[in-house]
Structure formats: structure tokens, C-alpha cells
Chains A and B, each alone.
Chain A
Amino acid sequence: METADTSADLISTPEVALTGAGATDDFDPGQKRFETLYFAFHNTKLVIGLSVVLSFLVLAIVGPWLTSADPFEFGFPLGIPPNSTYWLGTTSAGQDVYAQFVYGLRSSFVVGAIAALVAGTLGMAIGFIGGYLGGVVDDILSMLTNVVLVIPTLAVLIIVAAYLKVGSLSSEALLIGLTSWPWAARAIRAQTFSLAARDFVNLARLSGRGPLRVIASEIAPNMSSYLFLVFILLFGGSVLTAATLDFLGLGPSRVMSLGLMMNTAVSNAALQLGMWWWFIPPGLAITAIVGGLYVMNVGLDEVFNPRLRRT
């Protein structure tokens, strides 16, 4: 949530990104792809970030198969530290922390992906249309974007989630997606705006194609790398927002999540009891995943934009 608002800072400036996109015209496509891959595998930031994110993704997929415990199941020994049977120990109520952790990881990835898709779609729709059409449409869409941008996302989410009992991961993700699109819309609008003035777009327009077709065939493909970066940042931001909502107890209560783990840890005095294994892993995983995504993003930025490679 909260945190997603500053994300626009994490992509290099638009002009730089566009030089990258424009430069592709001169390359043979096959060679370009090979070149991109070459730089991708030689970019330390990308490799490190991607490995961190992928290892947590694998843990989220495989992890639950390695335990027979249900994340909400009681009846294990009370409050024991990690050992060979209970890999991450147990809670003071006798729940298996490892089971909670791996199922929580799953929730984080699911919520992040759905919310990023929703916000990305909205951001693209509003950014493309406003930036390409301009005029009154752009004015109205910009106004809408600015209004939603100023309203603190978390405040809205709290009030909505308090009334509308969030029952599932997808409805939580939908709520997050519906409030986190503005910065993406603004960034995409700015990109579209400067692309729309280029000759090849004018040519497409002269050939009589409608706005939607020009956007789909000329504009979107030329900023696909930028859109990918936006999606990654939306994903990371949504993971953080979801954790905050779950921590406040506003997420789905019957689905385990990393934020819910921290919520129960705090309300059951894990701090006072010194049960670090209960609250350290969930936050550490979120930090690693989101940090991994950000670092990966910087790496990708360098891969996509030749001008950034030397720095």
C-alpha cells in the first residue's frame, strides 16, 4: 500500500527508458534478443534479485508439500524453538510455524500477482488512453488519477475492509489493485505521451487505424520493457500492502498469510515471550522478496536500457 506510492522513483527516468526502446529499430530482432539475454545473465543485480525471488517462489510452491501440518491446526507442543521436527518451531498456542510460513508465502505471491494484474490493467488503460488521446479525455483521466493518488491508500483500504469482510485472497488482491494503480497510470501516460508524438506513430495514425489499434500495435510493444518494470514494482508494492492489511487483521481470516502471522505473534505476546521464530521469518521473507524484486528491477532496467549499462 502504502508503500507502493513511491515506486515510480525506482524506475529510471522516462527519457532514458525511451532511448532504449527507440534504439531497437536498428537491430536485427534475433540478434537483439540474444544480446538482451547476454546482458541479462551478466548483470549481477538481476541475477541476485531473480534468484532470491525465485527461491522463495519455489519454497512457496514446494514448501506446503513437505509438511502434513495445516497452518491453522492446533495440538503441537506449545512454544518450542525450531528443531528437527518443527523446522521453525511452534506458536504459544501449539501451531506449526513452518506450515504457517510456507502457506503464508503462497498467499503473498497470489495476492501480489493478482493485485499487480488488476492495477497494471487499470494503469495501462488509463495511461494509454489519456496519453494517446490527450485533450478533454486526458484532463478528466488525469484529474481522476491525481485524486486517487493523493488519497492515502491504506486509509481507504482500512475503511473498506472493515465494512466489507474480506473473505478470500482474490478479493483482498482486488481491493489492493483497485487502489494502487495511480502512479502506474501516471508513469504510463507520460511514456505514451512522448511516444505518441513520434513519426512512426503518426504514420500509423495516418494510415487510418483506430486509437486502440495504434496503441496495441505501435505504442505498447515499444514500451513493453517499461510495462514489465511497472508490473514488478506493482507486485512488490502489493505484497507489502497485503502484509499491512493482514497485520491489521483486515485480510481473509481463514487464509494464512505472512501478515496474519505477525498479527497473531503480536497479539499473543511473542515479543514478551522471546519467541523470535514466530515473527522473524514472515517479515524476513517479505523483505527478501520485495527487496529482491526491486534489485531485479534495477538490473532489468540496465539490461533494457543500454545507456545505463556502464554506470
Chain B
Amino acid sequence: MTRYLARKVLLYLLTFFVAVTIDWAIPRLMPGNPIDGLISRIQADSTASQELHGYFTKSFGLDQPLWQQYLDFWRGLLHGDLGPSIAYVGSNVSALIWAALPYTLALLVPAIVLSYIAGNRVGAMAARRKSLDNTALPLAYILTATPYMWLALVLAYFLAFKWGIFPVSGAYDFSVQPAWTWEFTQSFLSHWFLPFLTLFLVSFGGWAIGMRNLIIYELESEYANYLQALGAPSKLVRKYAYGNAVLPQMSGLALALGAVVGGALVTEIVFGYPGIGTLIITALQNRDYFLLQGLFLLIIIGVLIANFIVDIAYVIVDPRTRAGIQGS
């Protein structure tokens, strides 16, 4: 078990190292001087351009040798200093990220957990009931093929604009102040529901399909046949099949995280939800590279931590990893 977790941690550290290096290298490897590109996009007059050129060169530390730049990048990173924001003058990147992160997590965590549980349940049920299999499965395939932003648009159009059941954008009504009051909670929840539903529905489809296929496969295996031949009740056989099918689904969870995070970003943009996705689009529109690089690191770190949590859960669920029988 320790060996298993140690290997995983090593992999994540390596991944983190590669990701930080990519984050550092991309602006420096791109054709042309990134500073010139920045300034031409900002379209300032010539004196301002020169000022900016000096400022950016210093901020990026581009006047120093490459190895020094690389070390400085790491130093800044480990101190939580991600540089100033260009889009939001006067704020630094880490403060902006900390302000936006809770909103994104409030969408992502419930959507991932609930869609995983519900998808597994429905998938397992579909595997044993033909009628459900024929109705739920096509729906699951459609859901998993839906682009997040489009489902968000459709839900916003019908449920918010046409029928006015939910508010259209933002995280809470401007008339209330963020506080632990009933009024705010209500406003927050009604704004939260549609983006949450979008994420939930698309991921739900994938889990249901995966579980259904795994259960069918497990029910055909030798141990299931043997149990049935012994006269075990089919409920018991299904219970064992479910237990075995949950394991691959859990490793799937780690892989699906990146996709859901991407989905959350575009969903937030559609609903104007003030999380990381909205921050990314602002950064992109304003060519705020410090902010983009900080957000990139945040997403990487978030996904790695989430992966690690899944790994620990896997150890708890799978006795083989606990006993060290299986390497990975």
C-alpha cells in the first residue's frame, strides 16, 4: 500500500514538474518575442510601448540567463507569488484566483460526486433491466456526446429566459450581500442550480455507460456463473459484480476529472458564473498572461490533488492494493 501510494506521489510530482516547466517554457519558446506580441496586442502609443517593454521584460525576468529565469519562476511559485494581473489592474493573480476558486469548487465537487453515484446506480440497473437499458442507454450516449457549453445554452435559454424558472447569470442576486443568511443562500442556490445541472448531466451519461458495460462483462465472468450454478440469489451475484465494476470506474474517475474541469470552465462562461472559467475568458480577452499562467497551474494542481484523493479512496476500496498484491 505504501509502495502503491509512493509510486503515485512520484508520478504526480513528476507531472507537476513537467507542467510547471511547460508553463514556464511556452511563453519563451514561442516564435518571436512574447513582449513584442503582448505590446502589439495592447496597442499603446510608442512612449508607452517602451515603458511597457521595460516593465514586462523585468516582470518576466527576461533580462536574466535562462536557468536563472527558471529558478526564479519556481521560487515565485513556491512563495505563492504568481505576478500582477494585467486585466484587473492593482490585483495580483493569486488573490484573483482565491476569490474565484470557491465558486468553481461549489459547482465541480457536487457535480462530480453526485453524477458518479447516480451514473453508477442507473448504469447498474440498466444492465439488468432490458426496458431501462433501451431507454436510458441511448439517452446516456446523447448526454455524453453533448458539448458542455451547448447544454448550458439550451438550459439557460429554456429554463431561465423562456420560462423564467431560474435566474440567468451571476452567482447571486445583486440585491443581496454574500453572508450566511437565508436570503443569500436561496439566491445562491437558484443561481447555482443550472450550471450544476449542466455538469451533472453530461458526466452522468459517461458513468452510466461505463457501469452498464462493466456489469454486463462481470456477470458473464466465471465467478458469476459459478455463483449462479451454486444457486446463489441473483441479488448476491449482482452485488459482487457491482463491487468488481466499481474499481475500473474509480480509475476512470481520475481520468475524467480533466474533462469535467474543462466543462466547468465553459459552463461558467455561458452563465457568467464568477469562477475560474470566467476568469480564464477575461484573461484571454485581455491577454493577461500572468493570470493565464497562474490559472493553468491552479488547474494542474487541482487535478493532481483530486487524483491523489481518488488514489487513496482506491486503496480503501480495493483490498488487493492494500495487501500490495497488485502494483498499480
Contacts and interface: CB of A to CB of B under 8 A. Distances in A.
Given A9-B210, A163-B34, A236-B145, A279 B280 contact: no
A83 interface: no
A206 interface: no
Given A147-B15, A160-B26, A236-B145, A6 B296 contact: no
B217 interface: yes
Interface string B204-239: 001001100110110010000000000000000000
B136 interface: no
Q: DSSP majority for the B interface?
A: helix
B284 A248 contact: yes
Contacts of B95: none
Contacts of A149: 255
B19 A151 contact: yes
Interface stretch (A26-34, A114-122, A189-197, A270-278): A270-278
Interface in A264-303: 265-266, 271-272, 274, 276, 279-280, 282-284, 286-291, 293-295, 298
Contacts of B22: 156, 159
A247 B255 contact: no
B252 A9 contact: yes
Interface residues of A, number: 63
Interface stretch (B149-157, B171-179, B181-189): B149-157
Contacts of B263: 2-3
Interface residues on B, range: 35 or more
Nearest to A4: B259
A143 interface: yes
A311 B216 contact: yes
Contact of B266 (A248, A274, A307): A248
Contacts of A290: 145
A111 to B, nearest CB: 14
A149 to B, nearest CB: 7
A9 B209 contact: yes
Contacts of B280: 158, 248
Interface string B114-155: 000000000000000000000000100110111111110110
B12 A154 contact: no
A247 B267 CA distance: 11
Given A5-B255, A247-B266, A294-B144, A262 B150 contact: yes
B11 A5 contact: no
B27 interface: yes
Contacts of B281: 248-249
A266 B270 contact: yes
Given A6-B252, A143-B11, A152-B257, A244 B147 contact: yes
Contacts of A155: 258, 261-262, 295-296, 299-300, 303
Contacts of A288: 145
Interface string A1-45: 111111011101100100000000000000000000000000000
Nearest to A262: B149
B266 A244 contact: yes
Contact of A159 (B141, B254, B296): B296
A164 interface: yes
Nearest to B265: A154
Contacts of A1: 258-259, 262
Contacts of A154: 258-259, 261-262, 265
A259 B154 CA distance: 15
Report which residue of B31, B213, B258 has the largest number of chain A beta carbons within 10 angstroms of its beta carbon: B258
Given A2-B258, A248-B281, A13 B18 contact: no
Interface of A: 1-6, 8-10, 12-13, 16, 143, 146-147, 149-156, 158-160, 162-164, 183, 236, 240, 243-244, 247-250, 259, 262, 265-266, 271-272, 274, 276, 279-280, 282-284, 286-291, 293-295, 298, 307, 311
Interface of B: 11-12, 14-15, 18-19, 22-23, 26-27, 30-31, 34, 37, 138, 141-142, 144-151, 153-154, 156-157, 161-162, 168, 206, 209-210, 213-214, 216-217, 220, 252, 254-263, 265-266, 269-270, 280-281, 284-285, 287, 289, 292-293, 295-296, 299-300, 303-304, 307
30 contacts: A4-B259, A5-B258, A5-B259, A6-B144, A6-B256, A6-B259, A10-B210, A12-B213, A147-B18, A150-B11, A150-B304, A150-B307, A158-B280, A163-B26, A240-B145, A240-B147, A243-B147, A244-B266, A247-B266, A248-B280, A262-B149, A272-B168, A279-B150, A280-B153, A283-B147, A283-B150, A284-B150, A287-B146, A291-B141, A291-B144
